[in-house]
Amino acid sequence: MAVGCAVRETCLVVAVVFVRVPCMGLKIKGVRWRELPRLVRGLCGCACLLTGLSAGAAELAFDFESTDPGAVPAGFQSVLSGTGSPGNWSVMATEVAPRLAPLTSKAQPERRRVLAQLSEDITDERFPMLLYDDQEFGDFEFTTRFMNVRGAFEQMAGLAFRVVDENNYYYVRASSIGSTFRFFKVVKGLRSDAIGVDLEIPRGQWHEMSVRCHGNQIECFLNGKQVIPTITDNSFIAGRVGFWTKSDAVAYFTDAHLSFTPRETTGEVLIREALRQYPRTLEIRIYAARDRAAGQIKVIASSDPSMLNMEGGDVERKVVESGATFYGKSDGGGIVTLPLRDRNGEPIAAARFVIKSFRGQTEANAITRVVPIRQLMEERLRSHRQLFE
C-alpha cells in the first residue's frame, strides 16, 4: 500500500515498521533512514507512479508490536501541555478489531500491542502528548486508529501536529462524552476557539482519525470522511507529530502511519553547501540536542545518511559544553570536531569534519583548513532551533 521513498540527493527510506514497493512486493525492515542501492531506487520511483504519490513521498509507520509491554516506543518523548501530572504512556496488549468487517460472525478480535495513555489525573487543563521526536514534518497525512476507553470527566483521543513546543501546536481530537470532533490551535499556551462538528463517537469502539496538511491547508477526517471543512492557517509551517489526550481520559492508539514530503533542514543545507564549496572534505556531521536541557546529543545532519540519530560521544558533548576543539586521525584523513556557534557566539552544536590528509599535515594546519568551512556554515546559522527547521 505504502511507498517509502524520500528523494533528495539520494533515495532514502524510513522504515520503523516497513517500506513496501507494491509492484515488486519488496519489504525492507529497519529503524533508521537508510540509503537504497540504485536498482531499488529505480523500483521506488516506479512504485511512486503506480500509487499516485509524488516521487518525493515517504511513509513512516509506527510498529508498537516491536516495543515491550510497559515501555515507551523508541523515538518518542512524553510532553505535557497545560498543568497537572505528566501522561503515563506505554505499550500494552489488548484486543483490536479488524479494519474490515469479518467474513464470518465467528471471527475473533486479534490480540495486539497498542499505545496507551493510562494516567487518570482529573486536572482540567491537562493535555498529555507523546511526540515522535526524531523528525519534523511540514506537508503530510497522519492517520491512527483509536479507542476512547474510559474517563470520569473526559473521554478523548487526538493527534497533535506541527508541534513547535508544548505551548505552540495544532491538534484535532474526538470526544465520546461530548460527542464532538474538534480542531484547535494553541499559541503561546492559549487555545483557540473550536472548529468542528457534533457527532456520536462511541466509547469502547475502534475509530480512525486522520489529519492532512499541505502548506497552510489543514483537513481533518474521522472514519474516512472529512467532517470538518478545510482550515486555512499560517501559524505553524512544520513541527513534530504525536498522540494527544486530555485530563483523565484513557485512550488506546494503533495502526498509526504518516505519509509525508521529506524536508531538508537547515543543518542538511549547511552540509550540502559546505561540501559543494570544499570538495576535499570527505565527511561532515552535525551533533546537537533538540532539548538542550536534557543534553542528549545525536547526529541531526550528516553527509552520510546512515549516521543520522547516532548518539554523540564524550568529544561531541565536550565541544558543545565548553566550546573546545578536538583533532584525531582516520584512515587517509584527519578528523576535526569544533563548535558551531549562534549569532550570540554560544556553542549550540558540534561539527565533525573528516578531511583528506597530505604529507606532513599537523593538527594546527588541519584545524586551519576546517575553520573557513565552519565560518561558512555559521554565516547562515542564527539560532539552535534553526538547525532543525
The last residue of one of the domains, among 215, 242, 260, is 260
Q: Which of 145, 172, 187 is nearest to 245 (CA)?
A: 172
Position 196 in a domain:
yes
Q: Which of 122, 119, 127 is nearest to 191 (CA)?
A: 127
Position 245 in a domain:
yes
Position 105 in a domain:
no
Q: Which of 202, 218, 201 is nearest to 210 (CA)?
A: 218
pLDDT at 155: 97
State the DSSP string of 241-309. EEEE--TT-EEEEEEEEEEE-----HHHHHHHHHHHH-TTEEEEEEEE-SSTTTT--EEEEESSGGGTT
The last residue of one of the domains, among 245, 260, 275, is 260
Q: Assess whether 80 and 202 both reside in one domain.
A: yes
Quote the CA–CA distance of 135 and 132 in Å, as a whole number. 7
Domain range for 354 is 266-388
Quote the CA–CA distance of 41 and 286 in Å, as a whole number. 26
Backbone angles phi, psi at 158, to 5 degrees: -160, 175
Pairing label, strands 126-137, 76-82: antiparallel
Position 107 in a domain:
no
Position 33 in a domain:
yes
Q: Assess whether 253 and 331 both reside in one domain.
A: no
Position 180 in a domain:
yes
Q: Which of 42, 45, 12, 46 is nearest to 30 (CA)?
A: 12
List the grid coordinates of 65.
508490536
Chain mean position to CA 23: 27
Q: Assess whether 287 and 142 both reside in one domain.
A: no
Q: Assess whether 238 and 284 both reside in one domain.
A: no
What CATH number is attached to the domain comprising 300? Answer: 3.30.450.40
Q: Assess whether 222 and 323 both reside in one domain.
A: no
Position 129 in a domain:
yes
Q: Assess whether 355 and 231 both reside in one domain.
A: no
Low-confidence ranges of the chain (pLDDT < 50): 1-55
Q: Assess whether 352 and 224 both reside in one domain.
A: no
Quote the CA–CA distance of 154 and 245 in Å, as a whole number. 9
pLDDT at 293: 72
Q: Assess whether 252 and 302 both reside in one domain.
A: no
pLDDT at 333: 84
Q: Assess whether 245 and 292 both reside in one domain.
A: no
Q: How many domains does the chain have?
A: 3
Backbone angles phi, psi at 373, to 5 degrees: -70, -45
The last residue of one of the domains, among 260, 275, 294, is 260
Residue in this structure with the C-alpha cell 525492515, named with its chain if needed: 29
- Residues 282 and 169: beta-carbon distance below 8 Å: no
Q: Assess whether 124 and 252 both reside in one domain.
A: yes
pLDDT at 30: 33
Position 46 in a domain:
yes
pLDDT at 4: 33
Instruction: Check residue 360 and report its DSSP letter.
Output: T
pLDDT tens per residue across span 305-339: 999 989 999 999 999 999 999 999 887 789 999 99
Q: Assess whether 146 and 172 both reside in one domain.
A: yes
What CATH number is attached to the domain comprising 167? Answer: 2.60.120.560
Q: Half-sphere exposure (CA, 13 Å, Cβ side) for 351? A: 30
- Residues 114 and 92: beta-carbon distance below 8 Å: yes
Q: Assess whether 256 and 353 both reside in one domain.
A: no
